[in-house]
């Protein structure tokens, strides 16, 4: 089935129709810069613009960088505080006229990776981490997702980890790949002290092969370390899969 997936990120809002059987985008994705502050109303307008761009009238899935419970955002780290308590599913449905399922962006990316990407064959404890504006996390035990984990908000050296080791911090502080990898190593060590992980999947923009070549060899973990395969499209694909099942994550993962 073809479903429109939309990924609301810190710097861009990206969408494309997805064939949910193959996990492939069926048209070139449309990207619009995230408005300053990412207020719910302006994000909803852009979502509607993406829906119009594809002349879309069917169901869609949308992922946002926040905890989401039954369509309602309950946190807002890198987006406007007005998201907290906002019924994002209702907001996007009203703006687009389409039925919309909403989930956390790292959970969406992880659903896609488990179904079509690096996690296809993985059981055990899998932690997908996305490095971008923040650090997103998605934790699976034997392919069952524990939704809405926020391991990017662990404290590391007296700081919120995503303010220390995200890709945004690498760029803003001019850390270089080596300097950034040292921070990521500290972060992964910390996570491994807390959780007994079988496999890490590193995702987000830093999972592009030409980027992983610059830092992956510098990282050492007890758990197996893999990189995501679907890269920047993972959020769109995962959101579309959840849109198809109208927000029923368990159903999506059963099919994974």
Residues that bind ligand BGC (CB under 6 A): 65-67, 75, 77-78, 104-106, 130, 132, 134, 136, 150, 152, 162
* Residue 78 vs 232, nearer CB to ligand BGC: 78
> Smaller CB distance to ligand BGC: residue 162 or 229?
162
Residue 141: CB atoms within 10 A of its CB come to 12
State in angstroms the smallest separation of the CB of 55 from ligand BGC.
29
* Distance of closest approach, residue 163 Cβ to ligand BGC, in angstroms: 10
Residue nearest to ligand BGC (CB): 134
Q: Which is nearer to ligand BGC, 29 or 56 (CB)?
A: 29
Residue 12 beta carbon to ligand BGC: minimum distance, rounded to whole angstroms: 12
The residue (of 34 and 130) whose beta carbon lies closer to ligand BGC is 130
Token couple for 243? 């849109």
Burial of 172 (C-beta count, 10 Å sphere; 0-12/13-18/19+): exposed
Q: Which is nearer to ligand BGC, 98 or 114 (CB)?
A: 114
Least distance in angstroms from the C-beta of 27 to ligand BGC: 24
Distance between CA 149 and CA 73 in Å, rounded?
14
Residue 179 burial (C-beta neighbours within 10 Å; 0-12, 13-18, 19+):
exposed
Residues 6+ apart with CB under 8 A from 227: 118, 201, 202, 203, 207, 209, 212, 216
**152, two tokens:** 């990017």
Q: Shortest distance, CB of residue 104 to ligand BGC, whole angstroms?
A: 5
């Amino acid at each position: 089935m073809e479903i429109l997936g939309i990924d609301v990120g810190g710097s861009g809002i990206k969408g494309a129709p997805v064939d949910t059987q193959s996990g492939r985008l069926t048209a070139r994705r449309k990207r619009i810069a995230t408005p300053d502050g990412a207020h719910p109303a302006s994000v909803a307008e852009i979502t509607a613009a993406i829906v119009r761009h594809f002349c879309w009238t069917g169901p869609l899935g949308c992922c946002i960088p926040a905890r989401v419970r039954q369509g309602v955002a309950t946190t807002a780290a890198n987006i406007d505080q007005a998201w907290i308590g906002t019924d994002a599913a209702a907001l996007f449905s009203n703006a687009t006229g389409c039925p919309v399922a909403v989930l956390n962006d790292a959970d969406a990316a992880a659903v896609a990776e488990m179904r079509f990407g690096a996690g296809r064959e993985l059981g055990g404890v899998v932690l997908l981490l996305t490095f971008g504006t923040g650090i997103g996390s998605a934790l699976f035990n034997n392919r069952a997702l524990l939704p809405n984990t926020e391991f990017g908000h662990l404290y590391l050296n007296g700081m919120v980890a995503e303010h220390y080791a995200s890709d945004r911090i690498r760029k803003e502080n001019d850390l270089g790949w080596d300097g950034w990898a040292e921070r990521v190593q500290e972060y992964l060590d910390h996570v491994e002290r807390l959780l007994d992980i079988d496999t890490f999947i590193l995702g987000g923009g830093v999972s592009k092969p030409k980027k992983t070549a610059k830092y992956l060899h510098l990282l050492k973990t007890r758990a197996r370390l893999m990189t995501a395969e679907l890269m920047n499209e993972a959020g769109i694909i995962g959101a579309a899969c959840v849109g198809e099942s109208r927000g029923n994550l368990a159903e999506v993962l059963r099919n994974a």
